[in-house]
Each structure stands twice: as C-alpha cells, then as structure tokens.
Amino acid sequence: MAKDHELDWLMSQLETIPHIKRLRIHSRLPVVIPARITTTLCQRFNISRLQIIMVTHINHAKEIDSEFSCAMEQLKQVSVTLLNQSVLFRCVNDNADCLAKLSNKLFENGILPYYLHLLDKVQDGAHFMVTDEEARIIMKELLTRISGYLVPRLTREIGGKLSKKPIDLQLQFSYMIKPMILYYSGSCLACVMDTYKLVLSFYCQ
C-alpha cells in the first residue's frame, strides 16, 4: 500500500508532463480501509493541476458503511470524480435487485456506477462464473429498475487487448411502439416510448 509521501512523489512526476491531464486511481482500499483516505492525501489531490478520478471496486451494497461514506465526502470536498466498477459474481450479486441497490447506494455517496465486469476465467473461480446470456438477462431487468445513468456498462477484459470489450445486450426495440408526448417547451420536444421507458428528445428547427 503506497503511503501519502510516495503518492505525492509520483503525482509530482506526472504533473511535470504537459500532456497528462488526468490521474485515474483504481482501488478497493477506500471500502476495505476507509481511513486510508487521509486529510493529507485529500489536500494533495486538491492542489494538483491534474483532474483526479477515483474508481472504487465495490461489488455489493452491504460493503458500504458510514466510515466509507465519510471518506467519500472528503474526496468530494476536493472535487475528486468518483466512479465504481464491480465484478458480477454468482450467488453474490447476480440479480437485478442486488445491482440496483448497489447503484443507488453508490449514487447516494456521490459515486457513479462505471463498469460491471464479467469474471475472468481464473483457476478455482468457476463457481463464481456468470454466463454471457445470464448477464444479459440481469442487465435487461436492471434497465427497468433504475435510471440509465445508474446502469454500469457490462464488459470483460481480454488478455492482450488494448481496451475492455463491451458485452452486447442484444436489445430489440419494436417499431410498433406508439410514443406518448410528455411536454413541449421552446424548441425541445420530449417523448417516452412507454414499453421500454426510453426517453427521447428532439430539437425542432
């Protein structure tokens, strides 16, 4: 675990490189050891010219407690952008209700759900695996439970690839849905496709 002075040194080196604009830190420490978010660390983030993004790794709403909330409040006070990525585990969080509770709890703490990873194929981890099709079913149900900005992107890591691979949810929208107009204000017409709760906005010329 890097100490504050070690992170300070690393940030100082990065800040000398003109084209680096952001620093993204991934860690489970904020939820495992909330006290790791120290006043000294927050002060260092606050004076950095870099935009700081903290990505927590939380898989279940029950991991979030008052100590964690206090730590996140400290980070928010110094304008750290807070995101979360989770892993989909069988018999841990493999249902829409559990994921909806997690997303809502995260957002209550100022954290935006970011990624939901399918488990890597690691030794002795098969009992935690959720298939692609099972994950799609869960995500489709999740889309009906919470607002779109709270739905993490389903993805997987593939060795040797430069980026994560998004998982296609294979959503199908019917052309027979009759839109219901919600409101018209100025140049903006908003309507909802009620079957899928899909909100669309059109700008009228």
Per residue of the chain (205 residues), what is the pLDDT tens digit? 799 999 999 999 999 999 999 999 999 999 999 999 999 999 999 999 999 999 999 999 999 999 999 999 999 999 999 999 999 999 999 999 999 999 999 999 999 999 999 988 788 888 999 999 999 999 999 999 999 999 999 999 877 777 788 888 888 754 444 444 444 444 444 444 444 444 444 433 3
* Contact call for residues 30 and 36 (beta carbons, < 8 A): yes
Same domain, 129 and 186: no
Torsion angle defined by CA atoms of residues 34, 40, 41 and 42, in that order, rounded to the nearest 10 degrees: 90
pTM for the full model?
Answer: 0.81
Distance, C-alpha 112 to centroid of its chain: 5
In the structure encoding, which two tokens stand for residue 81, read together? 């952008």
Same domain, 91 and 12: yes
Query: Burial code of 98-118, b = ≥16 C-beta within 10 A, e = fewer?
Result: bbbbbbebbbebebebbbbbb
Range of 99's domain?
4-171
Q: What per-residue confidence (pLDDT) applies to 124? A: 84
Total tally of structural domains belonging to the chain: 2
Q: How many CB atoms lie within 10 A of CB 165?
A: 12
Same domain, 93 and 180: no
Same domain, 98 and 163: yes
Same domain, 18 and 63: yes
Same domain, 178 and 88: no
